[in-house]
């Protein structure tokens, strides 16, 4: 299978990437961390690995386009990128902190799906895996933007 993974060079994304590669799947990843991308490329030079921010539409569109060209198609999208955001009482969170957390966690998932789904429709097949959190089910004290974004990802999943 051909798999695209956002935030695939570290953390949960790297674990996904390694598991898919061990399974013999073709993988392409993006990550915002250039150093993590370089470390990954040194171990997996045959794998497409690009630096991209999921909440930058031009960058995520370029990643999806390059992945489709490199792999031929995308069978599975793992929209995994996320950030914990501020850990504060809501009255202490700045609007910019709120928007940044929502943007990476939710806008990133939306943009990844938006640019992948047309290819999946053309091939009449595909699977999208969004990484959410128990915070999206139960909420977390002092993590309101994160919990809201993860809750919304569950809603996005149900609407697709």
Kindly list the catalytic residues: 146
88: tokens are 């504060």
Contact partners, residue 129, CB within 8 Å, separation at least 6 = 76, 77, 78, 79, 80
Instruction: Give the burial class of 63: count Cβ atoms within 10 A of its Cβ; 0-12 exposed, 13-18 middle, 19 or more buried.
Output: buried
Q: Which of 107, 79, 90, 92 is nearest to 145 (CA)?
A: 90
């Amino acid at each position: 299978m051909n798999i695209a993974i956002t935030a695939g060079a570290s953390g949960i994304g790297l674990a996904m990437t390694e598991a898919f590669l061990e399974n013999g799947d073709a993988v392409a990843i993006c990550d915002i961390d250039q150093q993590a991308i370089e470390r990954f490329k040194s171990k997996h030079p045959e794998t497409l690995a690009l630096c991209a921010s999921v909440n930058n539409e031009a960058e995520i569109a370029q990643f999806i386009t390059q992945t489709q060209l490199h792999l031929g198609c995308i069978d599975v999208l793992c929209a995994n990128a996320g950030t914990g955001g501020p850990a504060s009482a809501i009255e202490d969170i700045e609007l910019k902190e709120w928007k940044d957390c929502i943007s990476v966690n939710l806008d990133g998932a939306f943009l990844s799906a938006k640019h992948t789904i047309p290819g999946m429709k053309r091939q009449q097949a595909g699977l999208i895996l969004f990484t959410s959190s128990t915070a999206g089910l139960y909420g977390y004290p002092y993590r309101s933007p994160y919990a809201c974004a993860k809750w919304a990802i569950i809603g996005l999943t149900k609407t697709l």
